[in-house]
């Protein structure tokens, strides 16, 4: 699952699980598999040559070399090394609190995040009505509004169709094989 907006693309490694379960769900294999899929689809679907992946750490300050949890050093960093060994331009683990401002975003094409909210909070804060959910790794294009159906607003005249329109436009563009 990628959430794509004009100024930021994010992919959570784990998706809809409790935060307490994230450390156990993060494996070197899960991170590398996700990184491979993201790099492939950024190149094949989004037309980005040599896509750059910024990989978030799990813990504050990306674990500060093991002083704030072992996952960044023991699991995430080796997965990044595996991706780099395969020729994928992946860097990190990076502190999540400093990788979503404009200057940081200029240095990568997609952020690989460790859990749902780490990925979705920044993209929704920057582009709530423009964000599109793109399912990666499929042999066909699949997009949808990022924020869901807003069924509770149906028939009220209060729903905003911008994300649906963005999802349809992105699907058309991805079908052509290149996204600006």
Convert the pLDDT of each residue in 44-65 to its tens digit: 999 999 999 999 999 999 989 8
- Residue with the bigger pLDDT between 87 and 67: it is 87
Least confident of 85-99, 113-127, 145-159: 145-159
Q: What is the pLDDT of residue 159?
A: 82
Tokens for 170? Answer: 């992105």
Residue 179: predicted pLDDT: 53
Task: Give 151 or 164, the one with higher predicted confidence.
Answer: 164
- Token pair in block for residue 11: 């992919």
**Euclidean distance between CA atoms 43 and 57, whole angstroms:** 24
| Domain at 2-129, CATH homologous superfamily | Isopropylmalate Dehydrogenase (3.40.718.10)
pLDDT at position 57 is 97
Rounded Cα distance between 173 and 180, Å, is 9
Q: Does residue 133 have a pLDDT over 60?
A: yes
- Which of 120, 109, 170, 163 has its CA nearest to residue 141? 170
pLDDT at residue 22 tops 90: yes
Domain locations in the chain as residue ranges: 2-129
Q: What is the pLDDT of residue 152?
A: 83
> In sequence order, what E strands does 15-68 have?
52-56
Q: In this model, does residue 123 exceed pLDDT 50?
A: yes
pLDDT of residue 180: 45
In this prediction, residue 21 carries a pLDDT of 97
């Amino acid at each position: 699952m990628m959430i794509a907006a004009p100024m930021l693309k994010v992919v959570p490694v784990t998706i809809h699980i409790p935060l307490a379960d994230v450390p156990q769900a993060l494996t070197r294999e899960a991170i590398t598999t996700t990184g491979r899929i993201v790099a492939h689809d950024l190149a094949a679907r989004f037309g980005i040559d040599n896509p750059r992946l910024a990989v978030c750490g799990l813990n504050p300050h990306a674990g500060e070399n093991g002083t704030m949890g072992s996952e960044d050093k023991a699991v995430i960093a080796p997965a990044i090394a595996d991706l780099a060994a395969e020729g994928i331009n992946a860097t990190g683990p990076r502190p999540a609190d400093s990788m979503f401002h404009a200057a940081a975003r200029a240095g990568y094409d997609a952020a690989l995040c460790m859990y749902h909210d780490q990925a979705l909070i920044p993209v929704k804060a920057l582009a709530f009505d423009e964000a599109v959910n793109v399912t990666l790794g499929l042999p066909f294009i699949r997009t949808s509004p990022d924020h869901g159906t807003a069924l509770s607003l149906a028939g009220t005249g209060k729903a905003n169709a911008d994300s649906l329109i963005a999802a349809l436009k992105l699907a058309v563009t991805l079908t052509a094989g290149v996204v600006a």
